[in-house]
Structures are given as C-alpha cells and as structure tokens.
A and B are shown apart, each in its own frame.
Chain A
Amino acid sequence: MAEVTPLRPASSSDSSIELVCPAGTPAALTAAVEAGADAIYFGFRDRTNARNFPGLNFTEKEAGEAVATCRAHGVKPMIAVNTYPDARDDAIWRRAVDVAADLAVDGLIVCDMGLLAYAAKKHPNLRLHLSVQASASNPEAVKFYQEAFGIKRVVLPRVMSVSEIADLTRAVAPVETEVFVFGGLCVMAEGRCALSSYATGLSPNKDGVCSPASHVRYEQEGDVMVSRLGAFTINRFDAGESAGYPTLCKGRFASSARTGHLFEDPTSLDATTILPELKAAGVKALKVEGRQRGKAYVAQVVRSLRAAIDSDSRLADPATRQLMEGQGRTEGAYRRDWR
C-alpha cells in the first residue's frame, strides 16, 4: 500500500467526536486516511458484510495491510461483519470475527446475536459495535445488546430524530452512539428490509446486497428507458432524463392515492447542516456511508466533513453536494417532519 500523509497530526483523533469513514478498496482507505478520517471501516470480500458488491472489499491479506496503514497514521481500523450468518454454515462469519480479533481492530461491527455471542465469548477483549443492521432503535434494545454481549457502541438506524438520539444517548451511556451523516439513505429500518429478497431472491440480511446489480436491467422502449429489478419495473425515464440506478425503495410506483416516488425520491442523506445539533446530542461518532464509492468520492466527502467538524460549522461545500445520488439531499429522519 502506498505511503500516505495525514493532513493533520494523529493526536486530533482524540477530539470528542469521531469521523468514521468507509473504505471499499485499499485505494479508498488510503484516500480516507489522507483526507482526515479518525476511523475507517471495511469488510471482507464475501457475504459477511452488507456491501457485498462485485469488485469491492478486502482479502484477509489486504485487511492486514489496511490495519497497518491505519495504525501508522493514528487512524482506528474497524471491520464490519454485518450480515446474518447462514443457518447451515456460519464458518465464514466466525472466521471473519477471528481474523478481525487477530488484527486487534478498534471495533468489530456486528448485528447477529449468535455472532455477537461467539465474539464476546471467544474474544473478550475485542471491542464490539452493534451494527445499524441490528436496528436497535430505542434505549431498551441497546441495553439488551449491552447486557447480553457487552457492546461498547451502537450505530443508530436512520429512523430517529435528533431529540430521540439525544435521549437515547443519555439513556444508554456508557455505550457510545454513532450516527450516519452522509451518503445513502435507507428509508426502511435497516436489517428489517426484505424488499430485495422479494424481487430478486437475494437478501440484504443474508447476502449483503440491496437491489443487486445482477438483477438490474435497462430496456429502451421507444423514447422511454425502463429500469427493472428482477421481474419488476422500478422506474421509467423519458428521453433526456438521466436513468438512475433502480434502488427499489427509490423507484416510482403507482397506487390509488398517487403515482410517484411512494417511498423516497432518489436522494441521499446529508446531515451535515445539523452537525452542531448531533454533537450537542452527545453522539460519539459521525459515520459516512459509501463503501461502494470510489476513492475520489471518499476523499472529497471526508475532507469536507473533516473541515466542518474541526471548524465546528455546517458543511456548505457545493462540490460535495454534487456527489450525491440524484443530487437531491435530505436530513432524513433527523428532522421530525421527514416522517
């Protein structure tokens, strides 16, 4: 892996709020380190992680190199093993936990109760973070995982308002909270969504995919471009409209009430305008979604968020806004009126 130079001294990672950044490739990891990440999360190249997309993720060897790179620059490495192990054979999930433990990562991000039990018992010193895929959305749920498995941090679902986050953060201390601030927006409770399974037979929970590319087709019908997922039309685009990726919950559908984006517009989460509120809510870490993104995206987003956090301000970088899906943005559930 190439030598990288952090933009700031490693000691600044001790600041009260942590910037947790995605890496789908070693190149993206290097970009995130250079751009000022405090922590970087990544996963292995199989269905043990929820971004099981072709060409992404890390071999065991690459994971070792990634941890070394992080350590050399004062960045915390975290590994996501955040799908639900197969009933018939959970060997790759257990192996992923063991490898992460051997690498002594700063956080193992897990959602499955059985796997949490395994990790807690076999690797008592391994720091466990509860993945957003566990959908722990109230203090009682977080405490269940804390009491059962000793989790140290919870990644909160993108379904909570800022005031709910503040209440929960107070209620679950010393368990830390981590929230998504930028990137893809799940409008459904994470880990509770089988929409892709219904349309394609491939499951977010079991296979780590959402609206998998293997089942996407674009078909030209006269002037209209039709995007399909499995047997279902997700959208139709007139000539001149750009045909976006058919993410199921961002498609256009018909109902007796209305026809349109019934679940969500093709939009992304951008909570950077409320960074001060999230900080005041007591969250420990701000997370950027996007392990499927390239290194240029990661560099741009991480750099601008780093600047916003360090200057205690609200991000207003038009270049970063341009990167978002459909170029629409929303603060999602963080603002109560989203509901």
Chain B
Amino acid sequence: MDRVEIALGPLTYNWTAARRASFYEGIAADPTFDMVYMGETICAKRQAINGAVMAEAITALEAAGRKVVHSTLSLATTDPERRAIADLVEDPSLTIEANDAGALRGVVGRPHHVGPHINVYNPGTLEVLAERGAVAMCLPWEIDRKSLDVLIRRGRDLGMVMEVEVFGKAPLAISARCHHARAYGMTKDGCQYVCDRDAEGMAVDTVDGQPFLTLNGLQTQAHAVTVLIAEIAELVNMGVGRLRLSPLDLDMSAVAAVYRKLLDGALEAPAAEEALLALLGERDPANGFYYGVEGSTWAA
C-alpha cells in the first residue's frame, strides 16, 4: 500500500502577522508535513493585510521542501473576492486547490486539487471533476464512512489522491455577511478585523450555556474538534492517500507526529487517541459526521 501522506490545511483563523510567521516557521522545519495548503479560504479582506507575511511563509516552506498548494476562497461574490481567486488561478506556476466552481473553471484542463468546500457527494461528481483535471480531492467534512468508502475507492480508480479531514473544527456554513463582525455590532465592510481577537474563533453557546458553534469571520465552525484517530486504519483500508489536519492554536507538529507514528505502526490507535486528546486540552472532540450521526457527538 502507498505511503499515506500528511497535509496541513489552510489556516482558517485571522492570526496576526507575527503569529503566522512563527507558526509557519515551525511547519517549514517539520518534515512530518508532506504538503501544506496555503491561501485565505474565508475572507478576502484578511488577505489584504496578511498577504506579505503569507508570501514569505510560502517561500520558506518551499525552500524547506514542503509541497505547497494554494487554496482559494470558499465564497466569492464581490469584485475583490473574485480578483483574489483570479490572481491565483491565472498563475500557471501554482498548484491550485479550488473551493468554488468559479475557481474550478479557472483550472479546467490542468492538474489541480479540489477542496472540501466543493460539494462532492457521489461518484458521478468525482468523474466530472477527474475529467476536468482534478488529481487530488479533499472530501467534505460531513461525508460518513460508508460514503467515504465508495468515494475514496472510486477516486483512486480515477487516479486521484483522496484526502480526508481528520483533525480540526469542521466548517459548517459560510455567509456573505460577517456574523462575527455583526456580533460586535459591525458590518463586513467596517469590520475592524474583529475576527483577529480569537485565535480559534469566537465561541457561540446556547442561551443555556452549552458550547455549540464557533464564529470565524464569514464562516461558522463547529464548537467541537473533529478527531478521527481510531478510524485511521479503516480510512487506510479504503485507500485514503492523505490525511489533512486543520490548524488550531496548539502544537500542530505534535499532532502530526501522532498521526505519522500511527500510520507507520509506531503507535497503536488507543495510545494515539490518548495523546491527541491530551493535546486538545479543554477542547471537546467529535467524530459524529464519520458515523453518520450528529456531527457534534463523540462516539468514543
């Protein structure tokens, strides 16, 4: 069986330039990450202020031997948002991960990745995308194990590297309106970049005080952190080609090391799970989507 790779997903939070620089310095120094997805997938406004530091990080990552893929915005309606996508897809030297159909159009006919924000639910869609040049695909977070089994096998048959999100806060929704700014009484246009106040997004609780969701700029994420770890052996059997870890404000190299050891047989699943849950600290884990039940639940 092929070696299963480990990828770091795009940073979804609005970290400061300094925090981004030190984070990616660490990733560049860590060969556990076979691939690093870069690019702003949530809000084009963030890109305007962090573009320079992210460009430097990309240079450093590539110099260190990390394979870099450029992820596009998941929702684009305004001219600046469309321009952000065009700037990436019009550069033939870049490997692109498309996160909307507009970006897909820009890369038709050349090898590209399909991101988790493209609705891939069935083999028919896999075939459409493979025909147009997709060589790798990260499946949406809410796909359950029975469907993953079908999709991963079919995707491999079509010659694609099939990737699954195994760690991170699941994106649940995206809006043209910024609910994060709105919570502070502001609008998207005049947001003052309030989404940089929370390193992992702003917690949304029920009015009874139960943790529920996370506001992250235009995106709404889960409160709980998706953790697939006992499930990795099953995913490997299906033929998964790459595991994707979505950055949180913790030691992502330590997280990646757990997955690498598990994949290499240097760590058993129960010990790997224990190690990951320890790294999560106070955060709640979830794996319900994988089992086709409430995504918020943890079937230990």
Is A162 part of the binding interface, using a Cβ–Cβ cutoff of 8 Å? no
Quick one: given A140-B82, A263-B179, A339-B187, are A231 and B75 in contact (CB under 8 Å)? no
The reply to whether B141 and A115 contact each other, CB–CB distance below 8 Å, is no
Residues in A with CB closer than 8 Å to B86 are 140
Which of A70-78, A142-150, A285-293, A295-303 lies at the interface with chain B?
Answer: A142-150
Is B202 part of the binding interface, using a Cβ–Cβ cutoff of 8 Å? yes
Which of A6-14, A130-138, A304-312 lies at the interface with chain B?
Answer: A130-138
Which of A50-58, A199-207, A268-276 lies at the interface with chain B?
Answer: A199-207
The reply to whether A159 and B175 contact each other, CB–CB distance below 8 Å, is yes
Residues in B with CB closer than 8 Å to A137 are 75-77, 100, 176
Which of B12-20, B21-29, B46-54, B206-214 lies at the interface with chain A?
Answer: B206-214
Taken residue by residue from 57 to 95, chain B's Cβ proximity to chain A (1 for < 8 Å, 0 otherwise) reads as: 000000000000000001111100110011000000000
- Shortest C-beta distance, B151 to chain A (Å), equals 5
A253 to B132 Cα, complex, angstroms: 43
Is A327 part of the binding interface, using a Cβ–Cβ cutoff of 8 Å? no
Size bracket, chain A contacts = 35 or more
- Shortest C-beta distance, B42 to chain A (Å), equals 12
Taken residue by residue from 201 to 235, chain B's Cβ proximity to chain A (1 for < 8 Å, 0 otherwise) reads as: 01111111110110100001010000000000000
A206 to B289 Cα, complex, angstroms: 12
The reply to whether B184 and A257 contact each other, CB–CB distance below 8 Å, is yes
Residues of chain B at interface, number, CB under 8 A: 75
Quick one: given A86-B121, A258-B185, A339-B187, are A144 and B289 in contact (CB under 8 Å)? no
- Shortest C-beta distance, A93 to chain B (Å), equals 8
Q: Of A197, A258, A339, which is within 8 A of B188 by CB?
A: A339
Which of A27-35, A61-69, A185-193 lies at the interface with chain B?
Answer: A185-193
Which of A98-106, A232-240, A315-323 lies at the interface with chain B?
Answer: A232-240
Q: Of B172, B207, B220, which is within 8 A of A233 by CB?
A: B207
A257 to B206 Cα, complex, angstroms: 14
Residues in A with CB closer than 8 Å to B213 are 195, 198, 253
Is B110 part of the binding interface, using a Cβ–Cβ cutoff of 8 Å? no
The reply to whether B206 and A188 contact each other, CB–CB distance below 8 Å, is no
The reply to whether B206 and A114 contact each other, CB–CB distance below 8 Å, is no
The reply to whether A201 and B77 contact each other, CB–CB distance below 8 Å, is no
- Shortest C-beta distance, B140 to chain A (Å), equals 8
Residues of chain A at the chain B interface (Cβ within 8 Å):
84-88, 90, 111-118, 134-145, 147-148, 159-161, 164, 187-189, 191-195, 197-201, 203, 205-206, 226, 230-236, 249, 252-259, 262-263, 333, 336-339
Q: What are 17 A-B pairs with beta-carbon distances under 8 A?
A: A87-B122, A87-B143, A112-B122, A135-B100, A137-B76, A140-B105, A148-B132, A159-B177, A187-B179, A193-B173, A197-B142, A197-B172, A198-B172, A198-B295, A232-B210, A255-B204, A258-B185
